Amino acid sequence: MATLQLQQVVKRFDNTTTLHGIDLDVADGEFVVFVGPSGCGKSTLLRVISGLEPASSGRVLIAGEDVSNRSAAERGCAMVFQSYALYPHMTVYDNMAFGLINSGVKKADVVRKVGEAARMLRLEELLQRKPTQLSGGQRQRVAIGRAIVRDPKLFLFDEPLSNLDAELRISMRAEIRDLHTRLGTTMVYVTHDQVEAMTMADKIVVLRAGKVEQIGAPLALYNRPANRFVAGFIGSPRMNFLPVAALGTALTQRLQLPVGADSVGIRPEHVVPDAAGAISLLITQIERMGSSSLVRGKIAHADAGPESGFEFVLNGQTELQERSLVSLDFPAAQLHCFDAQGLRMELAAQRHAA
């Protein structure tokens, strides 16, 4: 049970800087997810928090104490690794007991704690098996069990679900959320999958190239992304972007786009086909899933730019056909506006709504 604070954490490897001054505040009991494309530094950040890597500069505070100079074992964290990192030659019981024994816990207590964790994760039957005799999901749970047993202040997860197949991933996601509800411990979770981030997090930290792009609750990031990167990263299918010039003068005036607006974005699920709409789309492909339809096409406008690929989603089934034109409208409330640097700009309409 602890808070986590990062103050200007910088990490350099030889001459490359992987983390450029990260600031972060995590409240007690929060489930925080670090998400970002590969190479953004999220795993490095996790390792710095855990103590496996020292920060080049900056401070890490756990439960208010500065642990920047402490070794990994002394920080009171527990980590679940991407490939589980179970000790292959030890039984499940020994794997979970190892950390406790090293810390000098008495045998009776070790047995009790391991038993509790095993019960919580339904591992009682497997205690005498070795990791090679377990399935992927079972190994996952042993890795989590090994972490729980140490009663840590902070749980750290390093992409724990990426080695599982899709079905297992969904059930394990639920189990981990469940665990969080039960234990109430602060958890820091790293993933590259924004769906995991959206469904599991209390707070999401979006990272790119070693910098924080935005921190906030999942819906906050969805509704009010701070910049183009976050807007395009969060939400599936991906947000559509258009240069302002492609909107046409009529639409631009109606939307009251602020001065300096360079591009706009709208999510596929918010686009509305409207016979009177100002945007014309040439449909190239329709994915008919039965429950919904994904329509892909190109914006028919000279200024649409090379990225004129555009998607929108309709509920249910549609009469629209490929190789035809459809007119679209962008509701002002759902439109996102960005300046030339990609930063979010407020729309007059939204200011009223907010």
222 Cβ contact list (under 8 Å, min separation 6): 198, 234, 235
Report yes or no: 138 and 96 within 8 Å, Cβ to Cβ: no
Helix (H, G, I), strand (E, B) or coil at 11: strand
Task: Tell the smallest beta-carbon distance from residue 54 to another protein (Å).
Answer: 5
DSSP state for residue 194 in the 8-state scheme: H
Residue 111 CA: distances (Å) to CA of 98, 116, 118, 127, 149 = 11, 9, 10, 11, 10
Beta strands (DSSP E) in 159-210 are 186-191, 203-208
Task: Tell the smallest beta-carbon distance from residue 76 to another protein (Å).
Answer: 11
Helix, strand, coil distribution of the chain in percent, nearest 5: 35, 30, 35
Nearer to another protein, 21 or 54 (CB): 54
- Number of residues interacting with another protein: please give it, by CB under 8 A: 39
Give backbone dihedrals phi and psi of 253, rounded to 5 degrees, phi first.
Answer: -65, -45
Task: Tell the smallest beta-carbon distance from residue 279 to another protein (Å).
Answer: 44
Binding flag, residue 130, another protein (CB under 8 A): yes
CA quadruple 207, 271, 264, 245: dihedral sign: positive
Q: Which stretch binds another protein (CB under 8 A): 95-103, 181-189, 257-265, 313-321?
A: 95-103
Nearer to another protein, 122 or 284 (CB): 122
Q: Which stretch binds another protein (CB under 8 A): 35-43, 124-132, 177-185, 237-245?
A: 124-132
CA dist 198 and 163 (Å) reads 19
What would the x/- binding string for another protein be over residues 103 to 122, using CB under 8 A? Answer: x-------------------
Q: Applying CB under 8 A, which of residues 115, 137, 273, 277 lies at the interface with another protein? A: 137
Per CB under 8 A, which of residues 27..86 are in contact with another protein? 50, 52, 54, 56, 69-74, 77-79, 81-86
Per CB under 8 A, which of residues 138..177 are in contact with another protein? 139, 146, 150, 163-165, 168
Nearer to another protein, 189 or 312 (CB): 189
CA dist 131 and 351 (Å) reads 56
What is the contact surface with another protein in residues (CB under 8 A)?
Answer: 50, 52, 54, 56, 69-74, 77-79, 81-89, 98-99, 102-103, 130-132, 135-137, 139, 146, 150, 163-165, 168
